[in-house]
Amino acid sequence: MHDGDLSAVERQIGRTPRGVLDVSYRCPCGDPAVVTTAPRLDDGTPFPTTYYVTCPRLTSAIGTLEGDGCMREMEDRLAVDDALRGQYLGAHERYLAERRHLGEVPEIDGISAGGMPRRVKCLHVLVGQALANGPGVNPFGDEALDAIGSWWEPVACGERHPPGEEDPAGD
């Protein structure tokens, strides 16, 4: 992990990042978008969120989807679609295996994140896993990314206004 990446994450989340091990996925602008975090923070706190979304544009787009209620529809489908439930269970099991590879934390053993494998609780976690692992691993993370589209357009994450336009704030 480069110091520049840690500085970018700090800028993105507005605080000193904790437990960051690596960048799992980068925005098209080059900044981290998803980081891998330790399953236990330096202060001893268990931290189940292995893939933490840091890109502010992406977190905002995910929050909009959550606010629109798409998780209810996903959860309704989960209750009746055996194939989907099997894929989601597979995402849960992969999440646990990847976290165990980073360290054993008995307090959260068997508990993934984002509601997996029975609920759809946090799209941020599901999108984080989808970006870190690639398409086809977390079906709801993939669906959320499809719904969001290109969150970084029309400007890159680090820009405050579209190229060629004057910044009204004078920045």
Tens of pLDDT, residue by residue over 23-71, are: 999 998 899 999 999 999 999 999 999 999 999 999 999 999 999 999 9
**Residue 163: its pLDDT value, please?**
40
- CA–CA gap between residue 150 and residue 4 (Å, rounded): 24
pTM of the model: 0.87
Long-range contacts of 3-7 (CB under 8 A, 24+ apart): 5/31, 5/32
- CA–CA gap between residue 113 and residue 161 (Å, rounded): 34
Residue 55 covered by a domain: yes
Residue 50 covered by a domain: yes
Count Cβ neighbours within 10 Å for each residue of 25-58 and write b for 16 or more, e otherwise.
bebeeebbbbbbbbbbeeeeeebbbbbbbbbbbb
Overall domain count for the chain: 1
**Residue 166: its pLDDT value, please?**
42
Long-range contacts of 135-143 (CB under 8 A, 24+ apart): 137/90, 137/91, 137/94, 138/88, 138/91, 139/84, 139/87, 139/88, 139/91, 140/74, 140/88, 141/91, 143/74
Residue 25's beta-bridge partner residues? 34
**Residue 165: its pLDDT value, please?**
40
Segments forming the whole domain that contains residue 46: 3-148
Residue 51's beta-bridge partner residues? 36
Residue 166 covered by a domain: no
Residue 170 covered by a domain: no
**Residue 2: its pLDDT value, please?**
80
Residue 158 covered by a domain: no
- CA–CA gap between residue 11 and residue 86 (Å, rounded): 38
Whether the CA torsion 34, 89, 139, 111 is positive or negative: it is negative
For residue 140, what are its two tokens? 């709801």
Residue 33 covered by a domain: yes
How far, in Å, are 5, 17, 135 from residue 10 at the CA level? 9, 6, 27
Residue 171 covered by a domain: no
Q: What is the mean pLDDT of each run of 10 residues along the chain (171 residues)?
A: 90 95 93 97 95 95 95 96 98 97 95 94 97 98 94 58 40 40
Residue 159 covered by a domain: no
Count of residues in the chain: 171
